[in-house]
Amino acid sequence: MSERLEPGDTAPAFTLPDADGNEVSLASHKGRKVIVYFYPAALTPGCTKQACDFTDNLAVLAQAGYDVIGVSPDKPEKLARFREQESLKVTLVGDPAKEVLTAYGAFGEKKLYGKTVTGVIRSTVVVDEDGKVERAFYNVKATGHVAKIIKDLGI
């Protein structure tokens, strides 16, 4: 079971391929705040709702100084289909090895329909301009989560 991040922790560095196979790194966002959200799988109902919510609120978040990166264990090809099918504007990166998911505490045991399983824990980590964790939300709901983040961040 991976450790959950706490405010003040240094956000683990990462470089992962996006939907086009280009490398996206947390370091390239230094000087801006970044909302890194972790979701189980592209092209599933809950993850689609969450990605569409982030896309719909991207301008509001960007205006407040936040970039958004969605991380899942999907390969770039599936992320590209997801982006095209849903007209997503948010940056999606794949972590098939689940190393970044684990480093952020977003992979491990969770309850699913009353059973304990190992998988992606729907989570969101807000990273400040200096690469420190500002906030960390775990076991979040796909629906309504973006509105809650906007409210919690005072945007």
Q: In angstroms, what CA-CA distances link 85 with 18, 42, 51, 79, 88?
A: 16, 11, 12, 10, 8
Query: What is the average pLDDT across 82-93?
Result: 97
- For residue 77, give the nearest of 43, 107, 51 by alpha carbon: 43
Residue 24 contacts residue 18 (beta carbons within 8 Å) = yes
Q: Among this protein's residues, is 52 annotated catalytic?
A: no
Answer whether 105's CB lies under 8 Å from 4's CB.
yes
Res 114: pLDDT: 86
CA R_g for the chain: 14
Mean pLDDT value across residues 141-149: 92
Range 132-140 average pLDDT: 95
**For the segment 43-71, what is each residue's pLDDT rounded down to a tens digit?**
999 899 999 999 999 999 999 999 999 99
pLDDT value at residue 1: 44
More confident residue, 109 or 82: 82
The Cα 71–Cα 138 span in angstroms is 14
Catalytic residue of the set 11, 47, 58, 69: 47
Instruction: Say what the pTM is.
Output: 0.94
pLDDT band at 110 (very low <50, low <70, confident <90, very high): confident
Q: How many CA atoms lie within 13 A of 102 on its CB side?
A: 8
The band of 112, judged by pLDDT with boundaries at 50, 70 and 90, is confident
pLDDT above 60 for 2: no
Strands 23-25 and 15-17: antiparallel
DSSP 93-111: EE-TT-HHHHHTT-EEEEE
